[in-house]
Amino acid sequence: MSLLAVELNDAGLLLVRAGDEGFPVLTGDESPGLAVLHEGRVHVGGEAVRRYRIAPLHAQNRFWQALSLDALPWSARGIATAADLAHAHLSALLTAEARQGAEELLLAVPPGYTREQLGLLVGIANECGVSVRGLVDAGLAAVATVAPAPCLLHLDLQLHQASATLLEASRAEGTLRRTRYELLPGAGVLALRQAMAESIATAFVRETRFDPLHQAASEQRLHDLLPSWLQALATADEIAAEIELGSTTHRISLTRAQLEAAVERLSDDILRLVQAARPPGTALHLCFSPRVASIPGLVGRLAALRDCVVVELAQGAPAIGALRAAAAIVRPADAIALVHRLPLADAQDSTATVEPASSAVPAAAVPTHVLFRGRAWPITAVPLSLGWSVGAAPRVLTLPAGIAGVSRSHCTLELRDGQACVVDHSTYGTFVNDERIGGRLALQVGDVLRLGAPGVALELIRVLQDHGAA
């Protein structure tokens, strides 16, 4: 059976087919889920990208996310609904040249689609001249070829949202299954790139008095150039960014730090998404797409999470994974259903992996005190109990009663084996740097300990003598 697979992410649809000896082959570039009505013709994918800023009133970018038979604000020949645009886009992707005779299709689907939307999706794909043989969760398929770990999280970006899919591996069952997912609206590719574009435009105005967002043509040019600038800044701290408009070239110095600052708020939101999706106190393999990797500064912040291994997946990983796990995904035409469980794979995918630092905190970073309302409490081998009514304990830090989310006996701080540790005993959670912990965790200087939600915050510090010793 000759199969195709599509990664159905509106930030960039990607078609993969089985090549010689069964090895997956990417058939072309990503095709973003954009459509533009221009001069009576509907352009989709890459063609739409090049016209998107020039004709914004005739552009559509939600037809995959909001897949339905609802009418569009504008229509063209054969195009009246979001489903029609999706059909046009998928047809442009599934050309005879790209398919090379293959007539059966697997779809790797991002989280969030309803049962009704999945049914509509299958119908649309079948009308494109291929037979849909299976649907699989995109996050599950993407990590299916990564060496299994007890807890994996797939992080990806779509046009309008970020998604975090939690997966659990069972050696006993020999399976990897999706357990849940979290969505973050407003933190997708479009919002991130718009934040960077506005920052770049501000720099152009400041340095050259040229505002690239003032005219549609220059705005389009800025967005066209942004991917290449991001690629250059992946290996350089600073580059020269140029925009040609007519006979004039406008030039600025563009830094990675500038773009990191531009997306800082959205990166904060994505970090909170990851923290909300991971089980408290659990070591994590965080697998992310190249789309995530392209956001300045984000991977470094992800790698700094506690007990976290970060893995950058290959381009098209969901579609590639779907082809490799086809035997577990393919269904009869009358029994198509979204697959949430796949067999475990032993082979490691060809991805770059960054291992976390040792969980042991270096001696110079071990806190000596916890600071609460201007008073420093020492952390010693004798546990310091925190709560609003701890009762009998050797050492007690009594918190004001009535603080939301703070338990009677909430947590303890103690020095053990040279590490300053917090041990959670609460009902509503103990958080370190806004990440909920489970059990015992080694702390370091600068950590913020938050008890409850919204609760109360305490800071971990290291008190030094005049000569610099602790």
The residues spanned by each domain of the chain are: 3-142+317-343, 363-461
Answer whether residue 386 shows pLDDT above 80. yes
**pLDDT on residue 347:** 42
Query: Residue 323 in contact with residue 153, Cβ under 8 Å?
Result: no
DSSP-derived letter for residue 362 is P
Model's pTM, two decimal places?
0.79
- Helix residue spans in 278-309 (DSSP H): 290-293, 298-303
216-233 and 189-208 helices, crossing angle to 10°: 100
pLDDT band at 349 (very low <50, low <70, confident <90, very high): very low
Q: Taking residues 434-463, what's their average pLDDT?
A: 89
**69 backbone φψ class: left, alpha, beta (φ>0; ψ -120 to 50):** alpha
Query: Residue 196 in contact with residue 241, Cβ under 8 Å?
Result: no
Instruction: Tell which CATH architecture fits domain 3-142+317-343.
Output: 2-Layer Sandwich (3.30)
Residue 86 CA neighbour count, 13 Å, CB half? 25
DSSP-derived letter for residue 13 is B
**Residue 449 to residue 447: CA distance in whole angstroms:** 6
Interval 263-285: pLDDT, tens:
999 999 999 999 889 887 788 89
Interval 210-264: pLDDT, tens:
999 999 999 999 999 999 999 999 889 999 999 988 889 999 999 999 999 999 9
Fold match, 3-142+317-343 / 363-461: no
Cross-strand partners of 168? 151, 177
- Domain 363-461 belongs in CATH node 2.60.200.20: yes
Q: By three-state DSSP, how is residue 47 classified?
A: helix
Answer whether residue 350 shows pLDDT above 50. no
Query: Residue 301 in contact with residue 190, Cβ under 8 Å?
Result: no
**pLDDT on residue 466:** 64
**pLDDT on residue 152:** 93
Strands 238-245 and 248-255: antiparallel
Look at the block and give the residue holding tokens 């990503």.
Answer: 30
Q: Taking residues 348-366, what's their average pLDDT?
A: 56
Least confident range from 16-20, 192-196, 466-470: namely: 466-470
Q: Taking residues 381-389, what's their average pLDDT?
A: 94
Strands 161-170 and 430-432: unpaired
Q: Taking residues 285-298, what's their average pLDDT?
A: 95
Cross-strand partners of 396? 385
- What are the φ/ψ torsions at residue 411 (nearest 5 degrees)? -160, 170
Q: By three-state DSSP, how is residue 273 classified?
A: helix
Q: Two tokens at 19?
A: 């090549």
**pLDDT on residue 158:** 98
Residue 121 CA neighbour count, 13 Å, CB half? 29
**Residue 450 to residue 317: CA distance in whole angstroms:** 37
Query: Residue 236 in contact with residue 291, Cβ under 8 Å?
Result: no
Interval 141-163: pLDDT, tens:
999 877 678 889 999 999 999 99
Q: By three-state DSSP, how is residue 94 classified?
A: coil
Pick from 9, 2, 22, 193: which is nearest to 93 by CA?
9
